[in-house]
Chain A
Amino acid sequence: MLALGLLVLTALLLLGLTFWRRRAPALLRRIEAYERLNRSVGLAVENGTRLHISLGRGNLISARGGSALAGLAMLRRLAERTSVSDRPPVVSSGNASLAILSQDTLQAGYHAAGAEEQYRFSTGRLTGLTPFSYASGALSTIHDENVSANIVLGELGPESGLLVEAADRENTSLIAASDDLSAQAVFFASSQEPLIGEELFAAGAYVGAGASHEASLHVQDILRWLIILSIIFGSLLKLVGAPI
Chain B
Amino acid sequence: MRVVTAAFAIAAGVIVLLGYFFPNQLGSLRVVLLDWAVIIAGMAVLVGVFNLAAVHMEKFRARQKGGAYGILLVASLLITFFGLGVWLGPDSPSMRFAVNAIIVPVEASLMAILVVTLIYASIRLLRRRADVMSVVFLIVTVIFLILMMPTPFGPILGEQGTQLGIDFLGMFSGGGARGLLIGIALGTLLTGLRVLFGADRPYGGN
Chain A contacts to B: CB under 8 angstroms: 3-4, 7, 10-11, 14-15, 18, 59-61, 63, 65-67, 69-70, 72-73, 76, 95-97, 99-101, 103-105, 107-108, 111-112, 121-122, 124-130, 132-133, 135-137, 140, 143-145, 158-159, 161-162, 164-165, 179, 181, 184, 186, 188-190, 192, 196-198, 200-201, 204, 209-210, 212-213, 216, 219-220, 223-224, 227
Contact = CB atoms under 8 A, between A and B. Distances in A.
Nearest to B199: A212
Interface in B19-49: 21, 34, 37-38, 40-41, 44-49
Interface residues of B, number: 64
A97 B21 contact: no
A108 B193 contact: no
Contacts of A223: 186, 189
A108 B204 CA distance: 5
Contact of B190 (A95, A128, A159, A220): A220
B179 interface: yes
Contact of B180 (A103, A130, A184): A184
Interface of B: 17, 21, 34, 37-38, 40-41, 44-49, 51-52, 54-55, 58, 64-66, 69, 106-107, 110-111, 113-114, 117-118, 120-122, 124-125, 128-129, 137, 177, 179-184, 186-195, 197, 199-206
Contacts of B190: 10, 14, 201, 216, 219-220
Given A104-B202, A216-B190, A144 B64 contact: yes
B105 to A, nearest CB: 12
B59 to A, nearest CB: 8
A126 B107 contact: no
A108 B206 contact: yes
Nearest to B195: A69
A101 B203 contact: yes
B117 A162 contact: yes
